[in-house]
Amino acid sequence: MTDHEPENPLVAAERDIVALGIAVAAIIMLVGTGGSVLPEAIAALLGDGGKPNVILVNALLLNIALIIFGWRRYRELTREIAERRRAEARAQLLAATDPLTRCLNRRSMIEATEALRKLAETRGEAIAYCMIDLDNFKQINDMHGHAAGDAVLVMVCDRVRALLPREAQLARLGGDEFAFVTTFPTGHPERVDDLVVRIYESLAQPLRMPELTVELTVSIGLACDHDIDRATGAEVDGNALMHRADMALYHAKKQGRNRYFWFEPSMENELRFRNQLETGIRRGLARGEFVPFYEQQVDVESGTLVGFEMLARWRSPQLGLIGPDIFVPIAEEIGLINELSERLMEQAFRDAREWDESLTLSINISPVQLRDPWFAQRLLKRLVAAGFPPQRLEIEITESCLHENVGLVRSMIMSLRNQGVQISLDDFGTGYSSFEQLRNLPFDRIKIDRSFVSELKEPGQRSRLVEAIVSLGRGLDLPLTAEGVEDEEILKALKTMGRLKAQGYLYGLPEDAEGVRARLAAAGKLITPRTEPGVTTRPAAKAPLPPHRAAQG
């Protein structure tokens, strides 16, 4: 064994047993012989006895030395054991806790939940499992850095811990997800509701740090081991509880976050359907089942077609034609929105290159896409690759984008505009944009949300809101588009409001590329595809169209 190798504990223990044996033997010898030798030796030392037996006195001294040696070794050993126990305990604690917040981690939470459940069972009590997810944590991390993010996690954890009953167990499950498990009197889940409400109240207070103050909201999912499965009589164990709380949490997030739900059996079906959709979307993306549809945009005054808004559709072999309201949020959640959107754009650029050059193409961009700092660069690259003129492209962003990170959005808008791309503010009036933002952000157009436009439906009806938005647009020198123009009545009202673009079912439902080609061919607004340097020609269209007639216009 070299100096650096740790001593084999078995060898050390053996040696300790030998040392202890020697000490015990020494004590026995001392007791056996010491009785007669000791007084003799002391008397000799004091000078009033005869000469002591040297051998016996030596044996006595050796005896005492051995006892001291054994005793010291024993003390060392007990100290060593205590040290080892402490180290073991520390290692166990580290393995069981989250180093940042010092609460339990996911692994140890499973055991803690089971333990508390058994304890509650013996007392005839119930337990509730509560999952907490911070709604906008990623944003805090992205905008203020990881140190601020960590501080937020610690503060949230402390606030929750301060409100929990003594027996409750709190864990950080990972990232920005926390969970706690607590007992409550069976049949009184309202006690848990009270606790959760207090947690909401506490977390609603701004989190103050030396450099900044952060506000956040949380979504919560709850499940309990009683009351639910009385029908089946099935036992709900710790794992099932966790899974159910997770489903309730997912439901809370889908309902708009910043709220809590108790688990209900229907959530299981909801989640199953959602998972099927998710699998379907992944598969559909690989199989090219997502296609662009196009909605006409028309100049109100002249009635001429000025462009199209691309609207995504999913041609699912199982579910039929699915709208973006269903699949866009899921694609955002599972991180596929960029890929999906880029595929659709590529297709749309190819389609639109065949349209008359006067026609624009509008594309919707979700707030999630705008979080990517390289979004503008990637889009411009795609435009170049497709050989589509940026001047014909319009990007539609909603007001919620501005809520997220105005600085980033602003710089992206600027770089797109520098290349000639136009930017519209979509669904205007439904979000939070302030006059300040409207004035400072270089938009090219405002789109009036269809919920306001539909107010013009009744004959003779005026909509003060639409009029207000129109005059706001005029004041800011921003052109306007009215969405959701469904009938002549609305169109008539819009015609009195000056120069506008309009789109809606009055002009036809959104249609696929073939439909648009046929429409444009009939109107003489298709051009024969040109081969530009560095640009590959599009593959032949399925339905052959009469290009000559189209080109003659």
Report the residue number, 149 or 504, with the smaller CB distance to ligand C2E.
504
| Shortest distance (Å) from residue 331 CB to ligand C2E | 8
SS3 384: helix
Report the residue number, 225 or 426, with the smaller CB distance to ligand C2E.
426
- Which partner from the list Ca ion, ligand C2E, none does 433 bind, CB cut-off 5 to 8 Å by kind? none
Spell out, one character per residue from 394 to 413, where the chain touches Ca ion: x when CB under 5 A holds, - when not.
--x-----------------
For residue 451, the Cα-to-chain-centroid distance in whole angstroms is 30
- Which partner from the list ligand C2E, Ca ion, none does 133 bind, CB cut-off 5 to 8 Å by kind? none
Report the residue number, 329 or 547, with the smaller CB distance to Ca ion.
329
Distance, CA of 307 to CA of 310 (rounded, Å): 10
> Interface with Ca ion by CB under 5 A: which range of 19-27, 39-47, 466-474, 477-485?
477-485
Q: Which of 427, 469, 490, 501 binds Ca ion (CB under 5 A)?
A: 427
User: Could you identify the residue written with the tokens 């060898």?
Assistant: 11
> Interface with Ca ion by CB under 5 A: which range of 161-169, 213-221, 241-249, 482-490?
482-490
Report the residue number, 219 or 364, with the smaller CB distance to ligand C2E.
364
Distance, CA of 22 to CA of 25 (rounded, Å): 5
- Which partner from the list ligand C2E, Ca ion, none does 435 bind, CB cut-off 5 to 8 Å by kind? none
Q: Which two tokens stand for residue 213?
A: 């103050």
Q: Binding-site residue total for Ca ion (CB under 5 A)?
A: 5
Closest CA to 496 of 536, 527, 534, 456: 456
Q: Which of 426, 500, 501, 520 binds Ca ion (CB under 5 A)?
A: 426
> Interface with Ca ion by CB under 5 A: which range of 118-126, 361-369, 402-410, 474-482?
361-369
Report the 10 Å Cβ neighbour count for 65: 11
> Interface with Ca ion by CB under 5 A: which range of 247-255, 285-293, 364-372, 409-417?
364-372
- Which partner from the list ligand C2E, Ca ion, none does 311 bind, CB cut-off 5 to 8 Å by kind? ligand C2E
- Which partner from the list Ca ion, ligand C2E, none does 324 bind, CB cut-off 5 to 8 Å by kind? ligand C2E
CA-based diameter of the chain, in Å?
144
| Alpha-carbon separation of residue 541 from 93, 215, 241, 256, 296 (angstroms) | 66, 53, 54, 42, 21
Distance, CA of 475 to CA of 491 (rounded, Å): 22
Kindly report each contact of residues 140-148 with a partner whose C-beta sits within 8 Å and lies 24 or more positions away, as own/partner: 140/214, 140/216, 142/371, 142/405, 143/405, 144/212, 144/214, 148/209, 148/211, 148/212, 148/214
Report the residue number, 30 or 365, with the smaller CB distance to ligand C2E.
365
CB 245 within 8 A of CB 263: yes
List contacts with ligand C2E (CB under 6 A): 295, 311-312, 323-325, 328, 341, 344, 364-366, 396, 426-427, 450, 483-486, 504-505, 510
| Shortest distance (Å) from residue 319 CB to ligand C2E | 15
Report the residue number, 262 or 327, with the smaller CB distance to ligand C2E.
327
Residue nearest to ligand C2E (CB): 504
Report the residue number, 325 or 436, with the smaller CB distance to ligand C2E.
325
Neighbouring-strand partners of residue 313? 291
Report the residue number, 176 or 396, with the smaller CB distance to Ca ion.
396
Report the residue number, 19 or 312, with the smaller CB distance to ligand C2E.
312
| Alpha-carbon separation of residue 18 from 15, 61, 252 (angstroms) | 5, 20, 66
CB 337 within 8 A of CB 546: no
Closest CA to 153 of 181, 125, 133: 133
* Residues contributing to the site for Ca ion (CB under 5 A): 364, 396, 426-427, 483
